[in-house]
């Protein structure tokens, strides 16, 4: 493997505190793995369809020669799934921009954005820290006159 150079890009997806890093490699077999586990076996089962959304929108044939390996940590189950789907979507766009052509990349980007903007754009909302004078970020302790 010293002489040959494989086409690859590395991108990340974020949701709350979950971060997913996707490594998209060209000339592969169409494998998509998350932390070493195939995407078909990702838990929770109810959110598995969310992780498959970029593949279902763009079509299986676009992923046929690409190997995608995703590392995800932080956050909860749901945040991790959303970070995974964003990393996969951003990864395929970055790969097409770098190694295929700009027109195809723009077409894919339009398809993803028309379905759901969060597939390519991170959600900036974060949890607000607790402040004094109350039990939470916004809630205040009850006022008493007597």
Q: Could you read off the pLDDT of 86-100 as tens digits, one per residue?
A: 999 999 999 999 998
Place of tokens 């190997």: 67
At 137, is the pLDDT very low, low, confident or very high (cuts 50, 70, 90)?
very high
Question: What is the pTM for the complete model shown?
Answer: 0.89
**What confidence tens digit (pLDDT) does each residue in 90-131 have?**
999 999 999 988 999 999 999 999 999 999 999 999 999 999
Q: How many CA atoms, within 13 angstroms, populate the side-chain half-sphere of residue 16?
A: 13
**What confidence tens digit (pLDDT) does each residue in 45-100 have?**
999 999 999 999 999 988 888 999 999 999 999 999 999 999 999 999 999 999 98
Would you state the structure tokens that stand for residue 18, as one six-digit string?
A: 């979950």
* Helix (H/G/I), strand (E/B), else coil: 135: coil
CA 71 from centroid of its chain's CA atoms: 10
| Residue 109: predicted pLDDT | 93
122 contact partners, CB below 8 Å, separation of at least 6 = 13, 14, 15, 86
């Amino acid at each position: 493997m010293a002489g040959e150079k494989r086409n690859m890009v590395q991108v990340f997806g974020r949701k709350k505190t979950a971060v997913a890093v996707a490594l998209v490699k060209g000339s592969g077999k169409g494998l998509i793995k998350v932390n070493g586990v195939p995407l078909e076996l990702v838990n929770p089962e109810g959110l598995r369809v969310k992780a498959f959304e970029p593949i279902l929108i763009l079509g299986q044939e676009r992923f046929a020669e690409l190997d995608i390996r995703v590392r995800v940590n932080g956050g909860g189950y749901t945040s991790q799934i959303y970070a995974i789907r964003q990393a996969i979507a951003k990864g395929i766009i970055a790969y097409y921009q770098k190694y295929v052509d700009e027109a195809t990349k723009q077409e894919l980007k339009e398809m993803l954005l028309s379905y759901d903007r969060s597939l390519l754009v991170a959600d900036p909302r974060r949890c607000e820290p607790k402040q004094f004078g109350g039990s939470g970020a916004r809630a205040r302790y009850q006022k008493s006159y007597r």
